[in-house]
Structure 1
């Protein structure tokens, strides 16, 4: 793969960043913002610059860790995964293209103050010239950008310095009349004036000494541009009659005519045209690197990552971006679309801050040369304020951002997902956090093992299966010298009075003798009882509630078709029991020394861990942690192995990890398998397991609803798979 040449120094970095900002933000937007906030627009520009700082710091850090072409896309894709990477890449590419087109169309009205020219043909001609310059090479682009910025800043500096003396304090009367609402609305509008501050990160692969030049370029240009914006807007408000420039297509030219006369107008026109051409130039340069970087990651067709052998630039990506720019200028109402794209840009800045947190928390290989200060509070501030500003953009802008997001997501599902098998650092960070929380819960529950377990016999079973259930319950209560309550439940028809069926039978007495023998044999307290009722499932739940047991152990068989459709009585017990329920597919319990704990690719539920450990410890056995294999990434496997190692350190029995095939291969047959049931046992029956049934006794644990993970926790577990 051909690499891009590193030939952009700090002056070019500053020029690209400043040139990307000083455009529509100062020559077009002040007139619109004045209509919203009046003189308070000066504060709106300062506040917007402050709110960009978190994204600027985050991008500066990530750019030094990943100095690759693609900028925002690279950071969000690596941090949040291919789905959000696709959304960010496509959306930011469109956003920058829209803003480039707006800059050209917005610059032409200033030119028309001097020449009688048609707007769109001139804009298209300028766009074609800039596309050609970008194809020739980044070095030429950087040099052109530097020249444009120097001339532009000289003109703007002269306008500002020459106009200060004419500022009238009276023009700032009613400074706070717009209130907080007006201030936030104006800040949301002018926020896009600073969007270009981080554009240079998209060409980070072409920057010399990126660890130094990128942070200096981004942060230095932001401070400089914020001060310049505030100064120019303050002068613009102070030298013009209140309301005279609100809504104007050329507000800075109107102000220059008041303070500097016709010569000032010509200087401002020159600065405006250069600034807006500069914005378009930087937009083509940076936006074309998004499809280039996405192509290298197989998110868009491979042809877009081709680097021309003669010029050393991604010609196909530049051509696609240029063609889009020309179409937008010729056929689309650019101003409205640019506002929609700007709303998406605010959302992308919020995602950039989240991506940095993901890298810091979820990637051991993340080693930036520059680190953002005040982490993570700066990033949290950036996310919250970004989303707050997004609400000020109006329903149309928000709807447009949603449309771009949905379209990008559909592209991901149709094109990317079949080709790409990667995950972001955030996924691993979530997985690690879920693992740490699960380990803490296991350790907490180990300090309070079950003291009483109810073994519910709801049907006649032979003595070996009877012993198996009681032995399992005994293993659960033995660590805390607890008690097993073994109850035979007999159901009689509704028309039969319960009093007539309460006499103890020979079978009942035999059952009690067997339980007494088991108590002596197992070394635990076993209490035998018989319960007669008209409804067994209610009787089981009532017995558990009356005795205050910690768990119910009952035998069950896999649901047949009819039971799958209409439900099974034991499902009612699972849903209504006041405690955990352990359903046993009973195939014998003869001293299980090989106990396996089955996971679904996420962490193990604490109650299943403690159940499996108690069984293995009761028979001096070992515990195997089973994870489905064949679907996760290498990073996922390493994280699970680390989780398994920490879990092993908490347990009192030998532990080993097994990775199981999920393609139909049969796993090793253990003596007993423990697994967690879903919140709905019918769901377990209707859908196939990810791992084939091993052909041994299986204990399916259904935690009580008070011990089940919250919806948010389950969502995080699903996201981390």
Structure 2
């Protein structure tokens, strides 16, 4: 299938019109009665509070849409920041939210039409739904011009309504201001969310906007300010001129309010305006919602036929038909209040995910993310938007929040059943979090760099077996000679807990002979080594205690070919070791002429320090390799090569840069390492209690590589070490004793 793009022909005013048009309609014409019945006069604040929360989302959307002006709006933003699975959730949430909004608008139109002619509201709503579905196939330019006229006309009418109505307000109608429980007030506030959909859903047509860097934020943000003030003032007038009993039961509250101060003529005018506005809202909601199946189909999250644009009309006609049928079904089967609550909840989820997308993309600082507009007061605006959206969901009733859970589960299920393995983008939230961690680790490596610290490096070599591999000692010798520091060899005798430590002085325990151990080394290396025979209840606890006592910087040790019987001890050692660690896989290492460093973080202090010391001692070349998946957008290969070379200058290491595009990370590293004498890789910072200590990539490299492999690992963070600390507090520390 060939690529599909929509023509660009919408300006700032069209953006403002579409955004405002989805709000200046059913929401303000139908909701006042429902909201006032729950919150009383305080319903005025419901519109204001929800407007502020929606404004947070509008700022985030304005930023995202200028960086990614693509059809699909919030779906596209979330899928590109968190992956296809979350894109499936927000895509379905946006589609359902707008579909409910359209059904809400058509039901409101039916109520206003009944005030003119005695026709069943449901019949009118169904007829209008079918008509608008047909009209939308004419294309955005036709419906957009209609939207412009409606917004201009309705704005003028509401300004006249506010000005004249202010003189008819009775202040006694606002007393008491708060009626009912706080929970009903929060429920009413949440229900208003369905009114503010236009603040974010206009981005569903962002791919069709000219000069999106200017027109999108201008249109969206101006509609935020305008509509929020308009809603608050209209609600203020409506509450002030109508008795609450009348307002609670009215299906046409704005028209009834106009009749109270403008007579029958005012009533007729506002009924006509209400009819026009609700139809306009239904049109705008259908226009925006039809873009979501279109965008999801382009990413293989819906059938491909939905993404096909009609050759004559140039619109995604099949998507429009799908939305039209769904809206028709809702109008026929679901009551008004349920539609309002469900539509609002779906959009609360969307608002929260859109705000989270800005935080993720800003933190990742990817080279492709260059918005022409940046949200002010970041990240507080986004945090407020997320909290404000999610806090209201539990107050919307059991059916609403259960529907929210069902939406999340269904979105995930749809991804796994329909889109997994073919949906775009292929990365997910885990990849986004990994990118953030890599960036943070890179910044910490640069911030903590101190050239003076590299002239003093205390080394500990814990020995698991009496047979000491010569390659391990040679590598330790290179590091010791380069840093002019002693190497402490630690051989541990495990003693039963019942055995007194005095056995260490009896001469009965096993010990190593230093001279025999150092036989493979050059004579100039041997003076750097010191042997300590360690006695402890457990070897791993003894090594950890010795590392703490010696203020060790690096623990260099052998990684046995068969670790089955040592798995628990090694995992515990890694969890508790207070310093950096490096594990050498026991393989022949006759000489080192080429060192390959495979690193996700070019500024990785530990790997580069080791590689630089080896290169200085042996004259070996050092290549730093970084692998990108085919879905990565973090930065170009040229940018990464410069970053690698810069890290070499920072640490004073002459090195070469190698950037590879591959989805098979272990395979790519193994191919590059086939001609090298030492491969240095890093294990994840976190500790996996139940799995392998090095992660799947390193475990795969252990199996498929033939060259000597050095695995570096930083100490486990405090949060991951907490379970071990608790166990230690419960069962007490292990006893250990050193013997020279």
TM-score in same-fold range (> 0.5): yes
Q: SS of 2:96's equivalent?
A: helix
**Which digits, 9 at most, give the CA deviation of each residue in 1:219-249, with x for residues without a partner?**
3333332332222211111112244312533
CA distance in 1, matches of 2:223, 2:713: 58
Q: Which residue of 2 aligns with 1:473?
A: 476
Q: Is the 8 A contact 1:87 1:409 kept in 2?
A: yes
User: How far off is 1:703 after superposition?
Assistant: 3.6
CA distance in 1, matches of 2:382, 2:544: 50
1:155-304 equivalences under 5 Å are: 155-175=157-177, 184-207=186-209, 210-304=212-306
CA distance in 1, matches of 2:717, 2:84: 36
Identify if the C-alpha distance between structure 1 residues 102 and 157 changes in structure 2 by more than 3 Å, giving closer, same or farther.
Answer: same
Query: Mean Cα displacement is larger for which, 35-44 or 269-278?
Result: 35-44
CA distance in 2, matches of 1:492, 1:67: 68
CA distance in 1, matches of 2:26, 2:197: 11
Q: Which residue of 1 aligns with 2:735?
A: none
CA distance in 2, matches of 1:221, 1:128: 28
Q: Is the 8 A contact 2:680 2:710 kept in 1?
A: yes
1:337-486 equivalences under 5 Å are: 337-357=339-359, 362-366=365-369, 370=373, 372-374=375-377, 377-390=380-393, 392-422=395-425, 433-443=436-446, 444=448, 447-448=452-453, 451-461=457-467, 465=469, 467-486=470-489
Q: Which residue of 2 aligns with 1:587?
A: 587
User: How far off is 1:344 after superposition?
Assistant: 2.3
User: How far off is 1:327 after superposition?
Assistant: 1.4
Identify if the C-alpha distance between structure 1 residues 542 and 162 changes in structure 2 by more than 3 Å, giving closer, same or farther.
Answer: closer
Q: Is the 8 A contact 1:512 1:528 kept in 2?
A: no
**Structure 1 alignment gaps of length 5 or more:** 712-721
Q: SS of 1:50's equivalent?
A: helix
CA distance in 2, matches of 1:697, 1:687: 18
Q: Which residue of 2 aligns with 1:675?
A: 681
Q: SS of 1:558's equivalent?
A: coil
Q: Which residue of 2 aligns with 1:690?
A: 700
User: How far off is 1:97 after superposition?
Assistant: 0.9
**Structure 2 alignment gaps of length 5 or more:** 723-740
**Which digits, 9 at most, give the CA deviation of each residue in 1:179-222, with x for residues without a partner?**
97766554333233222234333223444555554444333333
CA distance in 1, matches of 2:466, 2:178: 83
Identify if the C-alpha distance between structure 1 residues 323 and 422 changes in structure 2 by more than 3 Å, giving closer, same or farther.
Answer: same
Identify if the C-alpha distance between structure 1 residues 395 and 615 changes in structure 2 by more than 3 Å, giving closer, same or farther.
Answer: farther
Q: SS of 1:188's equivalent?
A: helix
Give the alignment's Cα RMSD to 1 decimal.
Answer: 4.0
CA distance in 2, matches of 1:13, 1:538: 66
Q: Is the 8 A contact 1:79 1:426 kept in 2?
A: yes
CA distance in 1, matches of 2:501, 2:430: 58
User: How far off is 1:605 after superposition?
Assistant: 6.0
CA distance in 2, matches of 1:212, 1:441: 36
Q: Is the 8 A contact 1:622 1:653 kept in 2?
A: no
Q: Is the 8 A contact 1:12 1:142 kept in 2?
A: yes
Q: Is the 8 A contact 1:308 1:315 kept in 2?
A: yes
Q: Among 112, 119, 122, which residue is 2:124 paired with?
A: 122
Identify if the C-alpha distance between structure 1 residues 611 and 71 changes in structure 2 by more than 3 Å, giving closer, same or farther.
Answer: same
**Which digits, 9 at most, give the CA deviation of each residue in 1:63-98, with x for residues without a partner?**
455444323223333444433333222211111111
Q: Which residue of 2 aligns with 1:716?
A: none
Identify if the C-alpha distance between structure 1 residues 710 and 99 changes in structure 2 by more than 3 Å, giving closer, same or farther.
Answer: farther
User: How far off is 1:284 after superposition?
Assistant: 1.2
Identify if the C-alpha distance between structure 1 residues 176 and 130 changes in structure 2 by more than 3 Å, giving closer, same or farther.
Answer: same
Identify if the C-alpha distance between structure 1 residues 640 and 125 changes in structure 2 by more than 3 Å, giving closer, same or farther.
Answer: same
**Which digits, 9 at most, give the CA deviation of each residue in 1:479-535, with x for residues without a partner?**
553222234445688999876775669x97953476599695117532234346676
Q: Is the 8 A contact 2:81 2:357 kept in 1?
A: yes
Identify if the C-alpha distance between structure 1 residues 652 and 708 changes in structure 2 by more than 3 Å, giving closer, same or farther.
Answer: farther
Q: Is the 8 A contact 1:621 1:653 kept in 2?
A: no
Q: Is the 8 A contact 1:552 1:582 kept in 2?
A: yes
CA distance in 1, matches of 2:72, 2:506: 82
CA distance in 1, matches of 2:680, 2:410: 43
**Which digits, 9 at most, give the CA deviation of each residue in 1:393-415, with x for residues without a partner?**
45543332232232222222333
CA distance in 1, matches of 2:376, 2:282: 32
CA distance in 2, matches of 1:79, 1:648: 31
User: How far off is 1:282 after superposition?
Assistant: 0.9
CA distance in 2, matches of 1:215, 1:499: 77
User: How far off is 1:319 after superposition?
Assistant: 0.9
User: How far off is 1:34 after superposition?
Assistant: 1.7
Identify if the C-alpha distance between structure 1 residues 610 and 707 changes in structure 2 by more than 3 Å, giving closer, same or farther.
Answer: farther
Q: Which residue of 1 aligns with 2:733?
A: none
Q: Is the 8 A contact 2:683 2:695 kept in 1?
A: no
Query: Mean Cα displacement is larger for which, 531-540 or 494-503?
Result: 494-503
Q: Is the 8 A contact 1:120 1:330 kept in 2?
A: yes
Q: Which residue of 2 aligns with 1:648?
A: 648
1:323 paired with 2:344, answer no
